[in-house]
Chains A and B, each alone.
Chain A
Amino acid sequence: DVKVTQSSRYLVKRTGEKVFLECVQDMDHENMFWYRQDPGLGLRLIYFSYDVKMKEKGDIPEGYSVSREKKERFSLILESASTNQTSMYLCASSPIEQGGGTDTQYFGPGTRLTVL
């Protein structure tokens, strides 16, 4: 079974703190993604990565950065946390399938971050 793990299920931080959210996948997938999930808004893509040291902005990258130094690990960084970044953060990974456009994404359990 594909497994995507996230470092914490629940996290509470103070405004202005630097926050690291870690994601690890064990299936040698090329693609990795970070989303945030908010009620009434569904999932919104923050950043994604197709390969080591490669990253691309998603739909809502402001206030976030990412790091992918190893293929299996994709980190989301909040440089200076703010209360409007209180949310559920979901990591996902997917292989590159032949034919494109059909890749199944596999999700981690999520990290519920509260910024006070």
Chain B
Amino acid sequence: GNSVTQMEGPVTLSEEAFLTINCTYTATGYPSLFWYVQYPGEGLQLLLKATKADDKGSNKGFEATYRKETTSFHLEKGSVQVSDSAVYFCALMDTGTASKLTFGTGTRLQVTL
């Protein structure tokens, strides 16, 4: 079946540090890949997505590249801000699964001054 594995958190960084959150996946088809973000007290919001191999999704300074050879979709940001503190979820939507998302367990990011 499908699965998504994310690095365990929490991740604690100082402001302006470089961020990487690892995500790898297992899928039977040709999935689309997503990063969602959940700010404190809120629901999830789509951060970025990529629909095929070698695509790069980007938004708000975050980037992730769909690597089929390593089945990965790592999230990166060059310089984090305190306002980026949130929980980040990697997810996949496989072909033939009719819009169903499979989520990773989430990684909490805490950015300090």
Contacts and interface: CB of A to CB of B under 8 A. Distances in A.
B22 interface: no
Contact of A96 (B30, B51, B99): B99
B101 interface: yes
Nearest to B43: A107
B43 A104 contact: no
Contacts of A41: 105
Interface of B is mostly: loop
A45 interface: yes
A34 interface: no
9 contacts: A45-B100, A58-B100, A102-B32, A102-B49, A102-B51, A103-B99, A104-B46, A105-B101, A107-B44
Nearest first, the 10 A-B pairs at minimum CB distance are: A107-B43, A42-B105, A107-B44, A43-B103, A42-B103, A103-B99, A109-B43, A101-B95, A102-B32, A102-B51
Given A45-B101, A100-B95, A101-B99, 8 more contacts: A42-B103, A44-B103, A90-B43, A101-B31, A101-B32, A101-B95, A101-B97, A107-B45
Interface of B: 30-32, 34, 36, 41-46, 49, 51, 89, 93-95, 97-101, 103-106
